[in-house]
Amino acid sequence: MRILIVDDEPPARRRIRALLKSVPDAEIVGECANGRDAIGAIRDQRPDLVFLDIQMPELDGFGVVDACRTAAAPLFVFVTAYDAHAIRAFDVHALDYLLKPFDKSRFQDTLQRARDQLGRGEAAQTGQQLLALLNDLRGVRQTEDRIAIKETGRTVFLPVRQIDWIESSGNYVTIHAGNSTHMLRESMKAMESRLNPREFRRIHRNFIVNLSRVAELHPWSADEHVLLLRNGAKLPVSRRYRRNLDASP
């Protein structure tokens, strides 16, 4: 089996590489730290099997699969930190996944299932399953009740109800939740798409707010207002996004 490993976290790639070291029929043809490199590696290296992290910066695992929907597409084993709601979608569509953190026994079971599928020549038959899975998981992403945030040596699962506001920080977003802050490598547009619009609204190019935290709205200038949160924080509301606060949640 020609295998490609795709994960933006070096420890995660090392973990899979170490588990494959003792597998005699496994040949690692490459490693990628982001989705865009993964697409190129899949096209150039023609792997049989790809261990694919879902949550990656810029282009996630969904984008990789979208770009590789051809008759020559490899088998994908999704490596994910999603919760049980999303995992049910994988089970329904009979596509394999590794839920972080996974142990050696679970990895070996997954590898054997992939080996069996490849032996039966079933890799090309998973195309429709992948499409159905992507549609289901995109729906899950829009109604997530917690967000997985990768931090050094761990993954924090933050309930969205605890979020006060989200602020753009270059290629990252800063999530403010109570007395804690978390950095996530994601665009504001992608972040906005993951949140329930009944609970969160974009109020500025750089800010998303939890509507339940809003206390008051005050005019600031001809083009901006200031939003006062219940915890005393003040956030700018730009003219472009002012109407988002008028819409009924």
Cβ(158)–Cβ(149) under 8 Å?
Answer: yes
Q: CATH assignment of 2-142?
A: 3.40.50.2300
Distance (Å, rounded) from C-alpha 169 to C-alpha 186? 10
Torsional sign, CA 52, 54, 56, 60? positive
Distance (Å, rounded) from C-alpha 126 to C-alpha 109? 19
| 28 Rama sector, left if φ>0, alpha if ψ -120 to 50, beta otherwise | beta
pLDDT value, residue 247:
54
For CATH 2.40.50.1020, list the domain ranges present in the chain: 146-246
From first to last of its 249 residues, the chain has per-residue pLDDT tens of 999 999 988 888 999 999 999 899 999 999 999 888 999 999 999 999 999 988 776 677 878 887 876 656 788 888 877 655 455 556 555 467 787 778 899 899 989 988 888 877 655 555 556 666 666 655 555 456 788 888 887 888 899 999 999 999 888 899 999 999 999 888 887 788 778 878 899 999 899 999 999 999 998 877 789 999 999 999 999 888 887 777 544
User: What dihedral angle (degrees, nearest 10) is formed by the CA atoms of 112, 55, 132, 84?
Assistant: 80
Indicate the fold that domain 146-246 takes in CATH: OB fold (Dihydrolipoamide Acetyltransferase, E2P) (2.40.50)
State if pTM tops 0.85.
Answer: no
For CATH 3.40.50.2300, list the domain ranges present in the chain: 2-142
